[in-house]
Amino acid sequence: MIPNHFIDGGVTGISILLSKALDVDIRLLLIALNIPFILIGYHRIGKSFAIHTCIAIILLVIGLNTLSIPMITSDKILIALFGGFFIGLGIGFVIKGGGVLDGLEIIGVYTNKKSALSTSEIVMYINSAVILAAAYQFGVEAGMYSILTYFTAMKISDYVVDGFEEYTALTVLSQKDEAIKSIIVNDFNKAISVFKGERGYLPGSFDVKYDCDIIMTIVTRLELHRIKKAILNEDPNAFVYITSIKEVKGGVIKQKVKH
């Protein structure tokens, strides 16, 4: 990103710009500008979060000054996409570990608790403002490519943080409802909810209907394929539909497998 003059967002991006404009060591700027945000994180989010963030930022400072990254390509699209990919990985792993990689992300994490936006969306909006403001130094085109980079980073960080364990609602209507319940609960150790409903009301046979159990469970993306396959093996005619879930709280989501 740096050798191609793509603007980094957040405190890191501001540090890069100030370093070039004022001829100040970027290491000092990264530490100095992040301190107020770390203090906010300590008081508003927690001690553990602040410690993890300190470690991440210190490692970032060390990495910037010890690792020599050659300019691999001059293709701006590849730079934007792969730059965003690796930034997203870094941000995602640090957030998953309980910290952030940039001081402005602390605002994102704290605001996430007060709004419906995800952390990465809030960070994206903040960084877009920083990028647009800083584009005057490197040019509008570099700023536009940088926004593309952060859009990619946002999607990758979302996948790292939530992707593998993203919860999904699996709903099943089957004539073999008792067998399906047993598969989900006993074979896969998942809790279920059962709604009493009716099946039928088909075109051409509107008056034909019968009572049924509507089985619903919450699964992760990794579990979804195996559970769905087991259900369809038991009843190939089962009606199965899947719904994405933004957030899950309360209830029994996971059951420990007994050995």
Q: Which mean pLDDT values do the consecutive 10-residue runs of the chain (259 residues) have?
A: 70 77 81 84 79 85 79 84 86 78 68 60 72 76 80 80 74 91 91 88 84 88 83 92 74 48
Same domain, residue pair 112 and 185:
no
Number of domains in the chain: 2
Residue 183 buriedness (CB in 10 A; 0-12 / 13-18 / 19+): buried
Provide the residue range defining the domain that includes 222. 167-244
Show which of 113, 136, 163 is a domain's final residue.
Answer: 163
Asked whether 84 and 148 are in contact (CB, 8 A), the reply is yes
Which pLDDT value is given to residue 110?
A: 62
Which pLDDT value is given to residue 180?
A: 93
Same domain, residue pair 178 and 90:
no
Same domain, residue pair 172 and 221:
yes
Which pLDDT value is given to residue 5?
A: 67
Spatial CA neighbour of 90 closest among 57, 132, 125: 57
Same domain, residue pair 134 and 174:
no
Same domain, residue pair 184 and 142:
no
Residue 185, CA atoms < 13 Å, CB-side half-sphere: 13
Which pLDDT value is given to residue 102?
A: 72
Which pLDDT value is given to residue 252?
A: 57
Distance of CA 5 to CAs 17, 51, 81, 102, Å?
Answer: 10, 31, 15, 19
Residue 250 within a domain: no
Residue 207, CA atoms < 13 Å, CB-side half-sphere: 0
Show which of 163, 198, 225 is a domain's final residue.
Answer: 163
For residue 132, give both structure tokens. Answer: 């647009």
Same domain, residue pair 225 and 154:
no
Cα–Cα distance, 99 to 52 (Å, whole number): 5
Distance from chain centroid for Cα 135:
27
Same domain, residue pair 34 and 133:
yes
Which pLDDT value is given to residue 153?
A: 80
